[in-house]
Structure 1
């Protein structure tokens, strides 16, 4: 019997056309920030700003995100280091035996992707991609494209509302949040910070995130191809090999070699860091969760990576291998800082805020920002740097409309994450591990977007505090 094609499925046809369009017309992520710089520059001039003011504000903003840039680079490298540790390889091997049929495998991978992305998005990208590859190796009949798309699902749904969500962690930390953003927040509340209990741990935010996750897992079950429509890794010409552990460490030939291979100092540093974290959270005023910020998350990642790799030389190798994944952040964030400067240090922020207030009201404002953040996320594929761009006028308009500031961070998180299902920038680490191309999985991620994003719009409208 001839194999059926995806053209039999209207949703797949739409997704395929969308994928073809993005691959042909959308530039690299760095191209977006180049174009975006001059779009914002032109918007400032059209709003009445002087050209010299725009130039000076751009220069002032370029290095305003230095601390945040390093924090985001470390969170990528730390997540990679944790995901590639030897104990994680053993865990993946066991998890790969859990699903018993191809459709369950796709849904299971989606669930694991979102659960791990809630803990740390960088860890999820690597860990779930390796898991999907191993499941496809041990379970016959799994559609490799569908399971590959679900391995990325956490980045398109819940990551920003998780423990490594950059927007929420940023506004909770005086070191990470730019002064201009803190001033706008301060205008609507007593201080310039928004604690995590009012963003990712707000009950409305937790319930909304859980509902989106449940919808995504259920749809993942139904989206999985069956029968003759399945394309396995073998069909795609991809060879899947067992997970291979690291080779045994070389014997120490000199005192320096002994130090690199001994777990003694790894254990000591881990104990020291754990002692500090216990004291740090115990001393936090109010809810200890409010003490969680990007610096704390990065320290936890570093300590976990250190103890899991056990020997210092293994951790050094993991960091060296993971560093290239942070190159996009190091290159693009200074230019995002320049865009932020042109918005925050001129009157452009107030102009945009006035426009948002003029076209909305307190009831529809969250949904409007969710749509806006999603659209902008297609062109600025970075949750943290994009939040810095949006925050001044999004929070300003929320203050004027009387909308909960923390809820607007939740709205931004859910809307921004949805954009990752429509553009391939953050898919790259996952695709590299799976041996796939963006066009292989974007049909499935686009179909998931068509289901999850409407749910987001309903939730952010009905659950507003």
Structure 2
């Protein structure tokens, strides 16, 4: 049954889902139209919101580009490739391969979303390389499905922001410690449940042998761009210092000292910047010289095109949703019909709907927090569960929103239509786990 559902959804996606850039443009038009029709704002005001917000994610776009290239460079180093190859050797069949990828990706994303998103896709490539009869599309889709766990893990942005002094909601509801969000029975149930579900659902979506789409061998070729350059006896001083391991260790010294000081002061606070610093520091050591690492970065940078062109459109959409009040109107549709018992689930669905226009955990807290959290307080609901409902809705609907799939697709060399049918299938079945956790625990 699951395989039949995934085949049906894949056929629908192939017919109707446009390229992610066109998808972002269509969302821009829809958000603009709804803002004019449903809020007091004029078209001129909506145009101004869009333009003012268009470049708001430049810093975040650079962070995400660095996640992709530093993660890719780290994974392309000899020691990491050897470790991934050793782990991939556990799987002997296509079924074992997708289950191993699903489990590894779900666990990695629960530890840190940036790490899991990149390493999951790289590991899926390695499994495809070792098991030629694997369905490459399903392997990459399974790696992305592991992203379902991220907002219940250690890098979850909403609960971490809600627990941080100075966040936008502190004056309204106070701080919500992570003991009331991440370290709760319902969150542990949901996160562990997803870690179990992802490999199982991937196994059930495995196509019959005659229906497997063989991977283009060119996509799995070993990347040799980062190999060390052998210098001849007539090499210049400039060439020798470029290929010097001493220079790599100097960079690593700076990185390790900073990270040590950071964690000493902040504790176990892993964010996207510290992940990038760790990726860069370890990556340059494993590639041994600055230029070997630069070649690895150059090979990875070609995959950042989608991030650079699409993220500004989502920045414009987010500002239109936030500043026009449209996000609040949509949220209130759900909040106004909720009771104390149904509130977490309805907040979850409102967050899922908002995610099409604001595919960002932090953005959800800004757009939805001012409406969801005071309503939860007035109804006497658990504020921690209300915050997690916002977080879960964002994580869940990522399976139908191609925004976060871009890094994985860039690494894999695939298009969004290749994987989204599988991801939407995972969305349908994982929704049960989220609802049970929010409503019954």
Structure 1 position 90, deviation (Å): 0.8
Identify the residue that residue 214 of structure 1 maps to in structure 2.
196
Q: Which residues of 2 match residues 42-57 of structure 1 at below 5 A? A: 42-51=33-42, 53-57=45-49
Q: State which of 322, 339, 342 in structure 1 corresponds to 2:320.
A: 342
Q: Which residues of 2 match residues 176-255 of structure 1 at below 5 A? A: 182-189=167-174, 199-200=181-182, 204-225=186-207, 229=210, 231=212, 233=214, 238=217, 243=222, 246-251=226-231, 253-255=235-237
Identify the residue that residue 280 of structure 1 maps to in structure 2.
262
Q: State which of 12, 16, 21 in structure 1 corresponds to 2:12.
A: 21
Structure 1 position 71, deviation (Å): 2.8
Distance (Å, rounded) in 2 between the aligned partners of 1:86 and 1:398: 51
Q: What CA deviation, in whole Å up to 9, does each residue of 1:280-339 have, x standing for no partner?
A: 22223xxx23x4333333322322322232211122223223334333333333333333
SS in 2 for 1:118: helix
| Root mean square deviation of aligned Cα | 3.6
Q: State which of 30, 39, 60 in structure 2 corresponds to 1:39.
A: 30
Distance (Å, rounded) in 2 between the aligned partners of 1:414 and 1:440: 25
Identify the residue that residue 258 of structure 1 maps to in structure 2.
240
SS in 2 for 1:345: helix
Quick check: 1:309 aligned with 2:287?
yes
Distance (Å, rounded) in 1 between the aligned partners of 2:128 and 2:68: 26
Q: Which residues of 2 match residues 26-425 of structure 1 at below 5 A? A: 26-51=17-42, 53-139=45-131, 142-155=134-147, 157-165=148-156, 167=158, 182-189=167-174, 199-200=181-182, 204-225=186-207, 229=210, 231=212, 233=214, 238=217, 243=222, 246-251=226-231, 253-284=235-266, 288-289=267-268, 291-377=269-355, 389-395=367-373, 397-404=375-382, 406-422=384-400, 424=402
Structure 1 position 158, deviation (Å): 1.6
Distance (Å, rounded) in 1 between the aligned partners of 2:17 and 2:219: 31
Q: What CA deviation, in whole Å up to 9, does each residue of 1:233-281 have, x standing for no partner?
A: 3xx6657867465433131722222222112132223223222222222
Count of residues in correspondence between the two structures: 437
SS in 2 for 1:363: coil
SS in 1 for 2:195: helix
SS in 1 for 2:341: coil
Check the 8 A contact 1:85/1:309 in 2, yes or no.
yes
Q: Judge which range, 141-150 or 93-102, deviates more.
A: 141-150
Stretches of structure 1 lacking an aligned partner (at least 5 in a row) = 1-9
Structure 1 position 64, deviation (Å): 3.7
Distance (Å, rounded) in 1 between the aligned partners of 2:217 and 2:120: 18
Tell me the TM-score normalized by structure 2: 0.82
SS in 1 for 2:437: helix
Structure 1 position 213, deviation (Å): 0.9
Tell me the TM-score normalized by structure 1: 0.78
Quick check: 1:451 aligned with 2:436?
no
Check the 8 A contact 1:415/1:453 in 2, yes or no.
no
Distance (Å, rounded) in 2 between the aligned partners of 1:254 and 1:33: 49
